[in-house]
Amino acid sequence: MPESGAAAPARARVIHGDNMAVLPSLSAGDYRLIYIDPPFNTGKAQTRTKLRTRRVPEGGDRTGFAGARYETTVLGRKSFDDSFDDFLVFLEPRLREAHRLLADDGSLFVHLDYREVHYAKVLLDTIFGRDAFINEIIWAYDFGARTKKRWSAKHDNILWYAKDPSRYVFNFDAMDRIPYMAPGLVGPKKAARGKTPTDVWWHTIVSPTGKEKTGYPTQKPLGILRRIVAVHSEVGDELLDFFAGSGSFGEAALAAGRSATLIDANPEAIEVINRRLAPWLAPATSL
């Protein structure tokens, strides 16, 4: 990794292929931070539909603010299968590769949900060692459908493991600050400065109509990923995401002066990533 002040320009390397065909070809210890958002094994296809809306004087199929009517046109759909007979058999060799690829002071973040996180943690404890588990971060949001049969699930789980629990990157001063929930209890000075986050991160999902939205299924918000990048890596570091999806982690890394290697087997994902990260792209490769 480059010394401070000598970092090379941030660069994206995008690889289209099965990550288990690609990962063994990467050099051990090259990556200071690895983030992965693997399929959650929901047992169904993940699909996002891209729509175009236009206001109409009457009719239409949607109602907007103040009763205005809108007509929608389907522009396309993106989807991928999210079902594995044995999720851990699928995940284990990829996690072992992640351990090999991490720098000695590197960190791995694994983004899952309640269905598989408990099993994945036991597997990660086996690969990294139980003492290498540093945090479970809960990303809580408040959007989407609710059930009347149980408490509605409105959070994801992010497991943080360090390759060496005695030395890892944790830039406390780079942590963004958030508002106090009861600012009147801490005084105006502290309230103005805000507080540092805990292991529960309240952050909205990617807005379905916002500029950040790519239309790719399961896209994660940049705000979550920027925090991970800022606190757990340095300018000039090499970062890796081998379930790259829409490329959100890559954008967060590159915008912060880190280089990123992104791997995905889905041609739709590669198309989105190449368009999104065009300013930083190295020549694309395919395996």
The dihedrals phi and psi of 175, each to the nearest 5 degrees, come to: -70, 130
pLDDT for 216 equals 74
Same domain, 137 and 71: no
Residue range 148-165: average pLDDT? 96
171 and 277 assigned to the same domain: yes
Q: Is residue 2 part of a domain?
A: no
42 burial type by CB count under 10 A (0-12 exposed, 13-18 middle, 19+ buried) = middle
Of 79, 98, 132, which residue constitutes the final position of a domain? 79
- Indicate whether 173 and 261 sit together in one domain: yes
187 and 232 belong to one structural domain: yes
Q: How many domains does the chain have?
A: 2
Tabulate helix, strand, coil % of the chain (nearest 5). Answer: 30, 30, 40
Do both 164 and 246 map to the same domain? Answer: yes
Same domain, 236 and 192: yes
From 79, 106, 132, give the residue that closes a domain.
79
In sequence order, the β-bridge partners of residue 182 are none
Q: pLDDT by residue (tens digit) across 78-127?
A: 443 444 568 888 999 999 999 999 999 999 999 999 988 999 999 999 99
- Asked whether residue 110 is assigned to any structural domain, the reply reads yes
Residue 134 structural domain: 12-43+83-286
Say if residue 67 is in the same domain as residue 172.
no
Domain with residue 236: its CATH number is 3.40.50.150
Tell me: do 97 and 135 sit in the same domain.
yes
**pLDDT tens digit sequence for 244-258:** 999 999 999 999 999
Residue 5 lies in a domain: no
51 with 151, same domain: the answer is no
Band of pLDDT at residue 211, cut at 50, 70 and 90: confident
Is 184 a member of any domain?
Answer: yes
Confidence of residue 265 (pLDDT cuts 50, 70, 90): very high
pLDDT at 81: 46
Q: What is the mean pLDDT of residues 63-75?
A: 56
Using CA atoms, how far apart are residues 25 and 105, in angstroms rounded to an integer?
21
- In this structure, the answer to whether residues 64 and 115 fall within a common structural domain is no
Of the ranges 128-137, 178-187, 266-275, the best mean pLDDT one: 128-137
Flag whether 75 is in a domain.
yes
187 and 205 fall within a common domain: yes
Domain end among 62, 79, 96: 79
Query: At residue 1, what is the residue type?
Result: M
Average pLDDT, the chain: 86
Looking at the structure, tell me whether residues 151 and 105 fall in a common domain: yes
Task: Say if residue 220's pLDDT is above 50.
Answer: yes
Q: Name the residue with higher pLDDT: 53 or 12.
A: 12
* pLDDT value of position 49: 42
Which residue has tokens 């993106």? 78
